[in-house]
Amino acid sequence: MKPDVLMTRPSTPAALAALERPFRVHRLWEAADPAAFLKEVGPSIRGIASDGGAGASAELMGALPRLEIVAISAVGLDAVDLGHAKARGIVVANTPDVLTEDVADMALALLLAAAREVVPGDAHARSGAWGREGNRPLTRRVNGKRAGILGLGRIGRAVARRLEAMNVQVAYHNRRPIESPYIYYGRASDLARDVDFLIVTAAGGEGSRGLVDREVIEALGPDGILVNVARGSVVDEEALTDALRDGKLAAAGLDVFAHEPHVPEALRSLPNVVLQPHMGSATVETRAAMADLVVRNLEAHFAGKLLPTPVPL
Ligand code: GLV
């Protein structure tokens, strides 16, 4: 008999089909009354397949008495109650590595778009304003400048490699220095003060909540650019909006927000911010690799084998 797996949110048709081959999939997002649905199917569920945003709360896991494994299609685990999983001996898996390069590409896309004003430039050419009003104002150079990476992990390193290719000097802030060719800063605000661009690639969760606060944003300064491809929770969104509006920060490129999919109106109305609806890993290739890894983690678990990408608890 196929093990019963609860899927929290819709994915691509291919990912769903891949999950349905080895498992009996129960679709939580289609339930009109999720609590009643969980009461009905909960006792049979042995695995959860979820994404980074939905994760797996203690409440959800608590409704599944036979739960053995949570497989997340994301690298970020801030929406998974790891304490609850550990206490109950529930195994957790995520999808690191396969998404690293795409998220780093997105960071660069946002940095370049913000600095070179690609979106307003597109509007200027597209609308005919170029012919009517003439050239747009000059933009900011990226190559040859200095960038700070906040959270030098796998994705941060991939961003750093790209920046090096553009002759951008790289420094970083982590809680502790790590083995790397880049200069370490013990304080995020000191790093921000010394660079032109701050790229946020830190893990989300309580440990990094509000790390990019008003002080860090203002240290980056009126010519600085902030890029966030990590989690909205790492940045004080209100302080960021104020700084962008008041000329205390030049521009920002944001793929993530504090309360997704809500993007505050105050942020949406600013011309000096480039917005993306959390698309860092959202390419056909990477999403297929992530879906495959979710299935392989679940299959390995139910076959009593080592998981390809377990999360140490
Ligand atoms: C996406 O946000 C992820 O955590 O992989």
Q: Whose CA is nearest to atom 3 of ligand 1?
A: 74
| Nearest atom, ligand 1, residue 204 CA | 4
- Give percent of the chain above pLDDT 90: 100
- Give percent of the chain above pLDDT 70: 100
Q: Tell me phi and psi for residue 175, to 5 degrees.
A: -60, -40
DSSP of 165-177, one letter per residue? HTT-EEEEE-SS-
Structure tokens given for 192 = 């921000």
Structure tokens given for 49 = 């397949």
Q: Is the peptide bond before 177 cis (omega within 30 degrees of 0)?
A: no
Q: What's the CATH fold of domain 4-97+284-302? A: Rossmann fold (3.40.50)
Cα 97 to the chain's mean position, in Å? 13
Taking the centre of ligand 1 as the mean of its atom positions, its distance from the CA of residue 75, in whole angstroms, is 5
User: What does CATH list as the number for 100-275?
Assistant: 3.40.50.720
Q: Is the peptide bond before 261 cis (omega within 30 degrees of 0)?
A: yes
Q: Whose CA is nearest to atom 1 of ligand 1?
A: 74
Structure tokens given for 125 = 């050419």
Mutate-to-test residue for ligand 1 from 72, 73, 75, highest number of ligand atoms within 8 A of CB: 75
Of 55, 105, 43, 114, the C-alpha closest to 81 is 55
Residue 82: pLDDT band (50, 70, 90) is very high
**If you ran DSSP here, which 8-state letter would residue 51 be given?**
E
Mutate-to-test residue for ligand 1 from 11, 77, 103, 309, highest number of ligand atoms within 8 A of CB: 103
To the nearest 10 degrees (0 to 180), the angle between helices 100-116 and 118-127 is 60
At 310, is the secondary structure helix, strand, or coil? Answer: strand
Q: What is the pLDDT of residue 240?
A: 98
Decide if 231 is catalytic: yes
Taking the centre of ligand 1 as the mean of its atom positions, its distance from the CA of residue 272, in whole angstroms, is 25
| Integer-rounded Cα radius of gyration of the chain | 21
pLDDT (tens digit, 9 = 90+) per residue, 96-114?
Answer: 999 999 999 999 999 999 9
> Looking at the chain, which residues constitute the CATH 3.40.50.720 domain(s)?
4-97+284-302, 100-275
